[in-house]
Every structure is written in structure tokens, then in C-alpha cells.
Structure 1
């Protein structure tokens, strides 16, 4: 087969998978909540059992992150997500309110097209399969080409486990001949009900432009503000933990640190004590050339690499054991690389006069990129935290925690998820951490509780003697009776 025919193969495979998924979903929709829950548990258990194998496959294939942290992500995607959804009602009667005379019925949306990124490939596939099947939907994965094999293996493992537990065949599948044309076919097909898009900005934009309802996430570019009342050693520790977790590839991770002038030196000293390296001005200029490509997008050469690997790339000498590279910055803009999203252990460092100025700087950074996504604040001042909560254009304001782990719901009580909505301000359809309830329609059955007179506000007389037109009615009735004689 000639290379030019690969697009046709991909389109045909995708169409075939959609037909099979549609038939499987009709069977899936007939299953009870109890049966769906058994299938979901089987998927979670098998994915957890294979967490290390899949993590290593992902690192070998993509070159992003490190396998030990990907093991944790696979465990999170399987067990933490499972435990958060296992008791949810998603199909059949999910809620009854006798006092208001309303019943809510969960209805699966149908076939879901799931775009899977290369940064978190196996964990995202596991997570999306769990929330889709829990909601009674079939799912087709469209994998990033650079993570194809590990996603195919993840699909095989969870598909076999699901079908052994009674899941209809072909309710879980993955495109193996991956092309843009195949993915485009998947997103635009009239038998696909919803797109669940996790990936780069271009792919998410394509999902929203496809004509099919979509839930997508934009880029993260979360600032982390360290306020003067914070426990500075702990705040720095949390930021470094977050930024080095899987080498920074989770989009909720911190991208810049903002501090008040009065604690600048203390914060910098603490970062250095915890193995961060502050780049000199010339070193910072050398590294920034590797952060963005000529078209303004993130350079994949730095994604998911260690600080030492990135320093080698930029030909910068740093101490052995350096965990994070930090560059002091004063500007924000599309052409200011450090102020943009960097899915790697690289941070921008801003110093502001006070917390009010820091607040405005955070807003500026977010509107430059990452608006609607996530930011963190480290503070013991409840008034300042409240002011940040009221003003920041984000869907998740994380307080005194790692942004990476807090954003996905691992270190907070947010819904455990690997797709984080950015809301309307971020160009998305929801600000939720996406779960099964985002993947169903709710049919509401409502009994009448008022009559037109109640809505108008008319007073209904309790007795005829109280009727406002009693005398007129009596006269008319008398006249009718006399005429009848």
C-alpha cells in the first residue's frame, strides 16, 4: 500500500469503528447500573495491575516524563478515579424529589470520540474509558501518533477486561492507522455524539469547530503566588514537587512563581536550598530560545525532560542534581517564552511590590495564556486568599498545595480527573474536572404542581358565599329559572 493511501485506510478504519461502537453502545445502554459498575471495576482493576508496564511503555515510546511518576498517574487514573465514581448513579433513575414531584433519569450520550495526548497517554486512556463506560457510552480513542503503541496496548488491556466482565464487544476501541484525516472523520461523524478532547490547542480548537458537541481543555499556564504569610519552605517544596512530577507534563503544573518584594531573597534562598537553579541573565537568554518554536508553539524538545537534560540542550552548566531551572522575568507576552506554558521543570520568577500588584500580575499572565485553567496561592491570610478567589480568571484556585496534584484532585477534594475544564472564559464548555456526569444527558420527568390561576395569582374562592360576583350569578340564575317555567 502506498503511503498516500494511508489516509484512506485511516478514514475507513475510523468509519468501521464508529459503526461497531454505535451497535455496542445500544447494547451498553440496556445494561443496569449494577452491571455497568461491575465492568468499570474490572477495567480499573486490570489497569491498576498493569500500571508499571504501561508507564514504562509510555516513557520508552514518547520520551516524556519518567516511568515511576507515570506509574502513580496510572494508579490515580484507575483506582482514585474508580473510587470517586463507583457510587454515582448515572443511568436509569438517578434522583427523585417527591416534594417537588420531579424524577431525573440518566441517559448516555452515545459514542464518545476521545483524543489522547502524548504527555499523559496511558493514564488519560484509562481515565476516559472509566468515566465513559460508567455513563453507558461507547468510546473510540484517537491517539497522538507519537504515543500510538502504548495507547493501543492500554486499549487492549482494558477492552479485554471489560468484555470479560460483560461489556459489549467494541464498546472500547482505538484507531490504529492514525492520521489527521482519520481523526477529523471521527470528530465530524454523525454517529459520534461527543468529543472528549485532551491535547494541544490546535486539536482542541478543531474539536470545537467540528460541529459535534465537545468538551475540551485549553493550555495551562498557572502562576503560583507565594504571599508573605506563607510557610515558605513548605510552599517551595510543594512547587518543586509539582514541577518535577513526571517532569512537569501535567498542564495544571505551575509555570511561574510570583513573590512580594519583602520576601524575594528568602524565597530565592529556599529554592536554591531545595536544588533549584537560578539562571543568570545570559543563561536565561540561551535557554529561552529552546522554549518556543518559530511558530510560537511549545518546543517538544523540552517537554517532559529533566532540568539537567534541558540544560545540556541549551549548553548551560548547572550543578548536578538540579531539579528545576528558574529565570527571573519582568515581562509577559506571546513572545516572552518564560511567561508561557512550559511542560518541563522550568519556572519564571516575578517580583512584585505587594500582594495587590502580584494579583494583577497573575491576571496578566493568565490572560496571556491559560485563562480559565488553574493557579495556586500559598498563604495563611484568609483575606488575601478570598480576594484572589474573587478576582482570578481560573476554574481552579488551589490553596497551599501542589498545583499538579491539586488540580487533578489527587491532593485536594476536587473530582479526580485528567481532563480539566477551562470554562467559557477559556473557550470551553465547562469549568468542571470532567467526570461521568458530564457524559450523560438528564431527562427530567416533572408533574404539574400549579394551575393557571396559581400562576396568574388569581384567588380561588373557598365557598360560593365568598365569590366576588355572587349577586350577579344569583340574578342570572333566578332569571334562567323563571324563563324555564
Structure 2
């Protein structure tokens, strides 16, 4: 009975949040650029002032990642994001083609539903709140139950800061009593116009099946290929920096390292020198046994954990200061557990003979749970970059840390914590999601071609001799009779 009451309260709360957000969004839709910018600046200020406390709360509640890295994520999702989106035109006339006389006008989508993952809860809430307001949308968050407190706090801070700067009350909401019933209610309620889903595959699929527009992102299973011309020291440094950033909780983090036989020993030695530990086959099996449940589903207790914590859990001994654990794999699929996504400080390690074999292996790994997302390449050969540009992903990250590169921190990609995987990965977009994905565009088009005549006039000249373009009935019958006469002579009629 108690659970039944909770579910009823949860659903009712969700309905209230959606109605309030819709009422607020209707007002926000009338705001101009200056008003919106003032609101976002205050949200950024609040995010920065609370970056540390939110990071601590997230680590304390979920056990995932590192405080210092979550602080950076909160900063990136606010200050760095604002720098990028501030010049974006998302209100009023955003484009005018004076030659073709077409004018484009931005309109908000309406109320958004933001699904928040437990791996990046506060930064994702901040990011989605800011891009929603930039495009004059309201948003209601559905938090992961294991990250409820920190997500709720981030949402409240964003809403309070927005309202203090002039936004309508309740423009940003968050479910305080999360449940599957509440999430389903929010997905399907009339007030919600679009869903932005960041989370597990099941949740993303549910978002796409809700019967309304959705922007969902699939999993990443990023292969990192160190090609023979690569700067090996730099490549290893980038991979370790990426995999240890918030202990591997970003979906763009590397999952497998692929090296050529001719540089294998150098790469392994460099990993050892920089804090990598190569597990024995027995140790690899022990760690894999702890990492996964129900086949290759990630064990939540191992997500975002340090190498030492994983080693302790698996009962293996590793050198002090170890940063990442590496396990050699001979193939891809069920028999090779490390070939799947691992949102923690563990990497699969593969050896190939040459680039073509590496290419084939990358495709197998991507099809094993990361197609459409990202691929990491370390090379000094521009031709090799182009060979890999044809792989089935929408982010080819060259000579950089994959985590930071994918979200746009170390590359020129759009700063984002929702990374589309395109149709290959079952996503509606292949982009890093920005405010431009959250607007409708109406077009005002002036007539530039004279189309006032009859259809016959429009298609004049097709064999007709009349220079005015008009074809008389007599002319048509003359052509028909001539064709019939020719056919009779040939015996075809």
C-alpha cells in the first residue's frame, strides 16, 4: 500500500510540474534576447558558485567519479557552454536570404523533458537547463533515483537563479519522488513537447517510443587506435588522462586500446611507466567477473571507481599509484567481456598486424555497443586519418583525450553532455546537442517566380511550336493523329 501511495504521489507531482512548466514557458516565449541572456548569466553564476558543493554531493550520493573532475564538469557545463552559445541566434529572425526572399524565424519547442544519468548528474542538469532557457523552453527533469539529491539540488539552483533574473516561476522543474510511473507519465503527458534523454539504452529506447520528438544518445564503446606513426608517449598520456577523468564515467571515454605489433612493446612499456597495469589472464577474468552482471551489463558498484578500488574488489594486487587496468583480449563479443563498454578505469588491449586489421577490429568493437558514437585515433599520418574517417561513428577524435574531445573540451566540437549517435546508433541527431536543436524554425517566403498561368503554360515548349507557350486543342489532336498514323503504318495499331 505504501508503494502504491508513493507511485500515485509521484505521478501527481509529475503532472503538476509539467503544467507549471508549460504555464511558465508560455511567458518565457515572449522574452527577447537581452532578457534571456540576463537569465542565463545568472544561472552560470549560480553554477560556478556551487560547482564544488554540487560535485561533493554527487560523489557522496552515487559513489561515482572524483570531486575535482565533477567540479570541472560543472564549470564546463556552465561557463564554457555559455561562451559557446552566447552568440547563437535563437530568438526572432535568425536568418534572411535577400536573394531568394526567405526569412527564418526561431520559435521555442515548448516544455522539454530532461532525463538525467547517475554518472554526470549535476553537470548534465546544468547543461540541459541552460540550453533549454537559451531556446526559450521550459524543462522538467527526471533524475536517476541513485542521484536524486544532487540532481534535485542542481535543478533548484538553476530554477532559483533563473527566476531571480526575471524568468517565470517553475520554468525549471525536477521530480522529487522519482519512479518509473512518473517517468512514463512525463514522457507521454501533453505538456511535454520534446524529450532529451541521456542515460542507459533502455531509457533512451523508451524515450523514442513515447510518441513524440526525442533526442536520445546511445552508449559509447570507443576504440582507441595507436597507429605506428603516433607519438606514443603523448598518445598514452591522453588515453590515461581521459580514462581517469572522473574515473571513466563519460560515455566518450576510451574502452579499448588497439596497437600494431611493431610498436606493441613500446606502448606497453609507456603504459606501465605512466601508471597502467597489465593484468594476467586470470586477473582479467577476476576483474571482468566484478565489472559485469547479467552478461555484459555494467555493475553499478564498479562504475566510476579507481583502479585500486576495482583491484581490491576483485582480490588482485597492483602496484601503488596504478591509474588504469588493462586486460588483453583476443576477440570481440560474449567470450571477451572487456570488449564491452566499461564506465570505469579498465581498458581492453588488442594487438594487430597493420592498419587494415585495426580498422576491421574498430568496426567490430563499435558494433558491439558503440556504433555512431566516437572513435579515437593517434597518428601523425594525415592519410591514415582519412582512412578512418569512413568508420561508422560521428566523432573521429585525433591525437586527443577521447572524453574531453568528445564533449568539446579539448576540440572544436560543440560543448555538450548529450552526444548524438545518428541513425547508426538509433539517435535522431549525430551532433553534440546545442540550443539550435531545441528550436522550431518557421519560414516566411516571398514569391520570386511567376506561376500565375495555366499548367499548360508552365510546361510549354515540350514539342509545341507556339512561342507564346499556349497549346491549342487542335495542335494536341494533330500530334495524336500523327502518332496513330505512324503506328498503323508499322502495324502496331
d(CA) in 2 for partners of 1:48, 1:98: 42
**Counterparts of 2:458 and 2:160 in 1: how far apart (Å)?**
65
Shift of 1:364: 0.6
Change (3 A) 1:448 1:329: same
Aligned length: 467
- C-alpha distance after superposition, 1:386-418 (max 9, x if no partner): 01002x110100000000000000000000000
> Aligned runs of 1:183-198 on 2, under 5 Å?
183-198=183-198
Q: Distance in 2 between matches of 1:264 and 1:295?
A: 30
Q: Distance in 1 between matches of 2:68 and 2:368?
A: 33
What's the CA shift string for 1:299-350, capped at 9, x where partnerless? 1111000000000000000001100000011110145210000000100001
Matched, 1:450 2:449: yes
Structure 2 partner of 1:166: 166
Partners of 2:416 and 2:19 in 1: CA distance: 28
- Residues 104 and 444 of structure 1 are in contact (CA less than 8 Å); yes or no, is this contact kept in structure 2? yes
| Cα displacement (A) at 1:460 | 12
Q: Distance in 2 between matches of 1:118 and 1:223?
A: 23
- The within-5 A match list for 1:93-104 is 93-104=93-104
2:251 maps to: 251
For the 8 Å contact 1:296–1:335, the answer to whether it is kept is no
Pairing 1:121–2:130 present: no
Does the residue aligned with 2:301 lie in a helix, a strand or coil? coil
Structure 2: give runs of 5+ residues left out of the alignment.
473-493
Partners of 2:454 and 2:439 in 1: how far apart? 32
Give the match for residue 488 of structure 2: none
Indicate yes or no: 2:399 matched with 1:396: no
Q: Offset at 1:40?
A: 1.0
SS at match of 1:443: strand
Contact between 2:51 and 2:71, CA under 8 Å: does it hold in 1?
yes
Q: CA deviation at 1:452?
A: 3.3
Check conservation: 1:334, 1:368, Cα contact below 8 A.
no
3-state DSSP of counterpart to 2:219:
coil
Residue of structure 2 equivalent to 1:61: 61
Q: Deviations over 1:422-441 (max 9, x none)?
A: 00010010000000000011
Q: Determine helix, strand or coil for the equivalent of 1:100.
A: coil
Mark the CA change 1:290 to 1:457 in structure 2 (over 3 Å): closer, same or farther.
farther
Query: Aligned equivalents of 1:377 and 1:187: distance in 2?
Result: 38
Residue 413 of structure 2 corresponds to: 414
Instruction: Provide the rounded CA distance (Å) in 2 between the counterparts of 1:189 and 1:19.
Output: 9
Q: Is the 8 A contact 2:330 2:336 kept in 1?
A: no
- 1:38 positional shift: 1.0
Q: Is the 8 A contact 2:451 2:458 kept in 1?
A: no
Per-residue CA deviations over 1:157-195 (Å, capped at 9, x if unaligned) read 111110010001011010001101001100011211000
Identify the residue that residue 475 of structure 2 maps to in structure 1.
none
| Superposed CA RMSD | 2.0
1:284-312 alpha-carbon deviations (Å, 9 max, x no partner): 11111112102531111110000000000
The answer to whether 1:46 aligns with 2:43 is no
1:239 matched to 2:243: no
Query: Contact 1:109–1:194 at 8 Å: present in 2 too?
Result: yes
Helix, strand or coil at the partner of 1:219: coil
The structure-2 alpha-carbon separation of the partners of 1:451 and 1:13, relative to structure 1 and needing over 3 Å to count, comes to same
Change (3 A) 1:259 1:469: closer
Contact 2:296-2:340 within 8 A present in 1 as well = no
Provide the rounded CA distance (Å) in 2 between the counterparts of 1:280 and 1:54.
39
1:309 maps onto 2:309 in alignment: yes
Task: Determine the C-alpha separation between the residues in 2 that align with 1:249 and 1:277.
Answer: 20
How far apart, CA to CA, are the structure 2 residues paired with 1:468 and 1:186? 64
Residues 156-305 of structure 1 aligned to structure 2 (within 5 Å): 156-305=156-305
Aligned to 2:9: 9
Return the TM-score normalized by structure 1.
0.93
Q: Secondary structure at the match of 1:418?
A: coil
